[in-house]
Amino acid sequence: MRQNWWKWGDPNEIKHLSDYPKLRDMVEERWKTKLREDFFPPKKISIPPIPEKKKDLIKDIFASIHPKKISFSADDRLSVALGKSYLDVIRIFNGNAFAVPDVVLKPTSHEEIQTILTKASESNVHLIPFGGGTNVVGALTISETNSKPTAICTIDLRNYKRSISIDEEHLTATFEAGILGPELEKILNNKGYTLGHFPQSFEYSTLGGWIVTRSAGQESTYYGKIEDIVERIKVATPSGTLESNPFSHDASGINILSLFVGSEGTLGVVTEITVKIKKLPKNYRWVIALFPTFRNGNNYLKALAQSGVKPSVVRLSDANETNLFSKMSSSEEQEPNLFNNLKKEAQKFILQWKNLTEPCVCILRFPQGDFSVSSQLILAKDLVSKHDGMVAPNTIGDKWADSRFKLPYLRDTLVEHSIYIDTMETLVHWKDTMKLHQALNRELSKSVAFNKQKGIFLAHISHIYPNAACMYFTLITPMQKGREIEQWQEIKNIATNTIINNNGSVSHHHSVGADHQRWYKLFSDNLALEVLVSIKNKLDPKGIMNPGKLFS
Amino acid sequence: MRQNWWKWGDPNEIKHLSDYPKLRDMVEERWKTKLREDFFPPKKISIPPIPEKKKDLIKDIFASIHPKKISFSADDRLSVALGKSYLDVIRIFNGNAFAVPDVVLKPTSHEEIQTILTKASESNVHLIPFGGGTNVVGALTISETNSKPTAICTIDLRNYKRSISIDEEHLTATFEAGILGPELEKILNNKGYTLGHFPQSFEYSTLGGWIVTRSAGQESTYYGKIEDIVERIKVATPSGTLESNPFSHDASGINILSLFVGSEGTLGVVTEITVKIKKLPKNYRWVIALFPTFRNGNNYLKALAQSGVKPSVVRLSDANETNLFSKMSSSEEQEPNLFNNLKKEAQKFILQWKNLTEPCVCILRFPQGDFSVSSQLILAKDLVSKHDGMVAPNTIGDKWADSRFKLPYLRDTLVEHSIYIDTMETLVHWKDTMKLHQALNRELSKSVAFNKQKGIFLAHISHIYPNAACMYFTLITPMQKGREIEQWQEIKNIATNTIINNNGSVSHHHSVGADHQRWYKLFSDNLALEVLVSIKNKLDPKGIMNPGKLFS
């Protein structure tokens, strides 16, 4: 296993804090401390080997699976034990105890997956489906349960990733669940199509993972969330294989498709997935705007969503995030950087509006295909001035696009410097967005775990609907060494309670996982949960699928 | 009960065949027969009164419901016994035996509905929820079942129809399920909004009915089907009340909302419904086109759907329908009629393309709101010429709009003249649309029940998706007196088998009902049906809700 296996992404893409000198200076000044330069390696995690007798038992249960697809290696087992949340990373860093599966199965066909589920159910083997492993809310964490399984097994779907068909007559495509974002997009792009689904985890997450977590891409305002994109699925369950209706939009009774969207591996493994595909845009058009306050920008986006204008990318940063991002550029002597232009504009903007020193940047991108979206752009720009904003140069947009999947790298870098950094997101009605923003600011600045006013709280709006917006929060503060997990939990509690108290959803696109389950159970309809349990009992009567998650 | 209670709609709107002299001439010429002028009244249907002892038992079970909301009257019971299908009408005409409920309950609140379900479940009373009663596939028919219920009760929701709230900040609105289309639209229109849901039954169907049948309005290509429009629901079930997630698009686990869309009353009664509303369009823009063949028009609509252009109204008539509609105009001396302009254009069109004598008309309407849809219109018109069509005057569109809800009246008129007339619809992949059209033509013209080549077969495409289209068929032929039901069933079998053999769905927007159940069961995934049964067992353990329908 490579040294930095726990890190995000491609080792060549890793950024160091020295790449962001202004960010570093700001943080050191704010926290009156020098940040460590040297990386501290994660503590050695000891993975107890599986006793030979247990191995033989497991091999026997899965006798019909090729031995090469069954791995007991510590490296394999460790690599699928966790997701990519801050909690996951600090557990690894500090060598904290966490459960690791006994075995990793690597099926390559629906039939193999079905066999695994059937055999596991017969023998009380717990199964955790694993896609790209990028979940940030503990969906992959092995939960403690009362039952005593024969073994705990992760189904690693990363080798189950063929393109089954591209149907150009109907603009649909069928893939196996384990295909990664870039693999899928490459296949589609080569024929002139796109799925339009680009979560920040895009490069390392899978189609199947997107479905079972109810994922949203950064362009979901135009392309829809994954529940809008999926047309049909095939699912392996302990009780057998099922397929949803051939059409997502007919009237042939109840379509069970949506039962599996957001099911987080509790009902089975979604295997073959037919998605709607779109023609690749011919070009993109940007609207970049600066607003004097977050509230102005917020009201702008509400008006935009309610006018029917459909940008794909939407990102309105609050003043803190706008300011911090401008600090993430390299020194100004170097190559043209992300926010030089923005800063120049911001200065002009500040001059124009005396006393307004904290502009908020808003980035919109419109895909343009067979017909012009100019009339939408005209309205989008019109509305900017109606909401006291000003239109800024487009160049910022292209630079955002270059760095759109890079932020997870910075997270690892900050953790290495003993900095706590976590992100949270929620779907919240427009009436509550600004209240929630203020409440989070207020509650966090009272928290010792967050270092009170010294903690850095960033927010942006990233997906818009006529009735609601997805708000995304980034929290940064010095790590409380020795009590990292307690610190994380304290801040998580404050943030999630504040979100829930302001009528936000438990999640807009990260799912429930282990981390949100408490709130999910508390705020879900009781009878609805009972219905889900009855479905679980039908499809997974022995309770072997991702036990302890969601309603179980 | 008024004399023509079984008829569609408003007695003042009823049309007679003498209003359509050219249609009449065409039919008489084709069938070599004179159509009867005199209306024959429906045979007297005898509704056995409920014995006093049974009444007392029922009153006792529903003791907490106000006696005024409990009706045993023959008129009330008859009025909710059937829907508005051809089969329903001929049963009434001929006095055929059909089951009638013992009692009609008329609740006016969620709590009353919940009480009815709870009490009925305790006492084994079968319940059939009734919205507007416009279903055309037997969804309201009382099915024969093995169980012996204490009583059969229809819950008439027509008095349960308040507007609960219009949330102008979030463009959502909450209504009680029994509200009729025009009532709902009037409330929204008064504030500048629309739901955008206009099925042909609009004037007499209810919001709750639209949801449980997975309805589509005539403008669904733009506004979406009802499953796209509904945001949240409250449901009364025999096991209690449940509510779906506060948001339709979050990631807080599985959202059970979609379990009730298309549930046809089998799981409970959907009571309070929050829908997404839209600003009223500022104006409409039309594209009317004529194509030399149905296939040209079909390919045009496919290209349009795949380009991202979003008309609301889409209607491409085949040559037969285009021709017949031109005959439905009044005599030419009278006021300007629906198809005069079209005919003039068609003549020009035919002159231009020698040997093409059967033009197909295509009507598109675009709602225009805060921004111009001109670029979509330009593309839509461009594509017309690319598919060998020609753009025709817009006036036809306005005239279509005037008569959009009037066709059901003509159905009753034809039945009174002993003419069989039925409609069918399906969602079908683009690869299969023309094959299905030809196959239906072929199979029907072999059928004695359809009068072979003398039967009139009309088709149009009415809703378009990138992968599929809804095809809508109208079948007209002389009634086989004395064997009307057998004739209906024979034609239904031919048509539905042909639809299914060409991969069409059982229904795109009429639902399964009693009439499609055989095909629904045959072509649904077995395990999916078992899952639905397990949900049914949880929510309706005694099986009292619309027994015998769908999977039960």
Cβ separation B262–A278 shorter than 8 A: no
pLDDT in tens, B332-359: 444 445 555 566 655 655 555 544 567 8
What is residue B225's DSSP assignment? -
Q: A-chain residues within 8 Å CB-CB of B245?
A: 505, 524
Q: What are the CA-CA distances from residue A345 to residues A61, A171, A350 (Å)?
A: 65, 42, 9
To the nearest 10 degrees (0 to 180), the angle between helices A526-539 and B526-539 is 140
CA gap B235, B247 in Å, rounded: 16
Q: Smallest Cα–Cα separation from A31: which of A440, A452, A485, A474?
A: A452
Q: How many CB pairs under 8 A join A and B?
A: 265
- Identify which of B284, B302, B300, B280 has the alpha carbon closest to the alpha carbon of residue B292: B300
Closest CA to A151 of A269, A50, A44, A228: A50
The pLDDT value recorded for residue B331 is 45
The rounded mean pLDDT for chain B is: 91
Q: What is the DSSP string of A266-305?
A: SS-EEEEEEEE-EEPPSEEEEEEEEESSHHHHHHHHHHHH
The proportion of chain B whose per-residue pLDDT surpasses 70, expressed as a percent, equals: 93
| Fold that domain B281-404 belongs to in CATH | Vanillyl-alcohol Oxidase; Chain A, domain 3 (3.40.462)
Supply A377's token pair.
Answer: 């752009």
> Token pair 């050219």 is at which residue?
B22
Whether B98 contacts B91, CB under 8 Å? yes
CB B224 within 8 A of CB B518: no
Could you please state the CATH topology (level 3) that the domain comprising B163-279 is classified under: 3.30.465
| Res. B36: pLDDT tops 90 | no
Minimal CA–CA distance to A367: which of A318, A312, A404? A312
Residue contact A258–B263, C-beta within 8 A: no
Distance (Å) of CA B20 to CA A291, B159, B262, B325: 62, 37, 37, 10
pLDDT for the residue A356: 56
Report the complex ipTM. 0.94
Q: Output DSSP code: residue B545.
A: B
Write down the pLDDT at residue A152. 97
- B151 SS3 class: strand
Beta strands in A327-449 (DSSP E): 360-368, 390-392, 419-429
Q: Give A62-89 as a DSSP string.
A: TTTS-GGGEE--HHHHHHTS--SSHHHH
Q: Are B280 and B185 in contact (CB under 8 A)?
A: no
What was the pLDDT predicted at B475? 97
Contact at CB, B537 and A534, closer than 8 angstroms: yes
SS3 at position A104:
strand
E strands, B336-386, are 360-368
Cβ contact B231–A378 (<8 Å):
no
Mean pLDDT within B171-182: 98
Closest residue on chain A to B168 (Cα): A467
**Does the distance separating the beta carbons of B528 and A244 come in below 8 Å?**
yes
For residue B466, list chain A residues with Cβ-Cβ distance below 8 A.
170-171, 276
- CA-based nearest residue to A270, from A294, A242, A295: A242
Residue B335 has what pLDDT? 45
pLDDT over threshold 80, residue B4: no
pLDDT of residue B155: 98
Give pLDDT tens digits for A229-287.
999 999 999 999 999 999 999 999 999 999 999 999 999 999 999 999 999 999 999 99
State which fold the A283-401 domain adopts: Vanillyl-alcohol Oxidase; Chain A, domain 3 (3.40.462)
CB A222 within 8 A of CB A305: no
pLDDT digits (tens, 9 = 90+) for B231-288: 999 999 999 999 999 999 999 999 999 999 999 999 999 999 999 999 999 999 999 9
Mean pLDDT along residues B519-529: 96
Q: Other C-beta atoms within 10 Å of B441: how many?
A: 17
Q: B477, B454 in Cβ contact below 8 A?
A: yes
A529-550, pLDDT tens digit by residue?
999 999 999 999 999 999 999 9
Say which range, A64-68, A457-461, B77-81, B95-99, has the weakest mean pLDDT.
B95-99
Query: In chain A, which residues have pLDDT < 70?
Result: 1-4, 36-42, 329-357
Distance CA B507, CA B494 (A): 15
User: What pLDDT shows up at residue B7?
Assistant: 81
Model pLDDT, residue B38: 55
Q: Which chain A residues are Cβ-neighbours of B213 within 8 angstroms?
A: 251
How confident is the model at residue A552, as a pLDDT? 83
pLDDT of residue B368: 96
Query: So what's the pLDDT on residue A422?
Result: 96
Select the residue of B243, B375, B507 nearest A375 (Cβ to Cβ): B375
Residue A67 burial (C-beta neighbours within 10 Å; 0-12, 13-18, 19+) = exposed
Residue type, B147: S
CB B507 within 8 A of CB A246: no
Question: At A417, is the secondary structure helix, strand, or coil?
Answer: coil
- Nearest Cβ partner for B250 among A263, A431, A508: A508
Chain A interface disruption, residue of B212, B249, B540, most A CBs within 10 A: B249
- The angle, 0 to 180 degrees and rounded to 10, between the axes of the packed helices B294-307 and B374-386 is 140
- Lowest-confidence region among B36-45, B275-284, B354-363, B488-497: B36-45
Selected residue of B250, B472, B501 to mutate for chain A interface (largest A Cβ count, 10 A):
B250
The residue assigned the tokens 């232009």 is: A341
| Whole-number pLDDT of residue A329 | 58
At B332 the pLDDT is 47
Helix, strand, coil percent content, chain A, rounded in steps of 5: 40, 20, 40
**What count of other Cβ atoms lies within 10 Å of the Cβ of residue A350?**
16
pTM of the model: 0.95
| Contact (CB, 8 A) for A293 and A437 | no
Tokens standing for residue A176: 């196996």
CATH class of A408-509: alpha beta
Phi, psi of B207 (to 5 degrees): -55, -45
Asked if B249's CB is within 8 angstroms of A225's CB, the reply is yes
Is B424:B515 a contact under the CB 8 Å cutoff?
no
- The alpha carbon of residue A511 is apart from the nearest alpha carbon of chain B, in Å, by 5
Phi, psi of A425 (to 5 degrees): -150, 155
The residue extents of the domains of chain B are: 163-279, 281-404
pLDDT of residue B356: 55
CA dihedral A231, A237, A239, A245 (to 10 degrees): 0
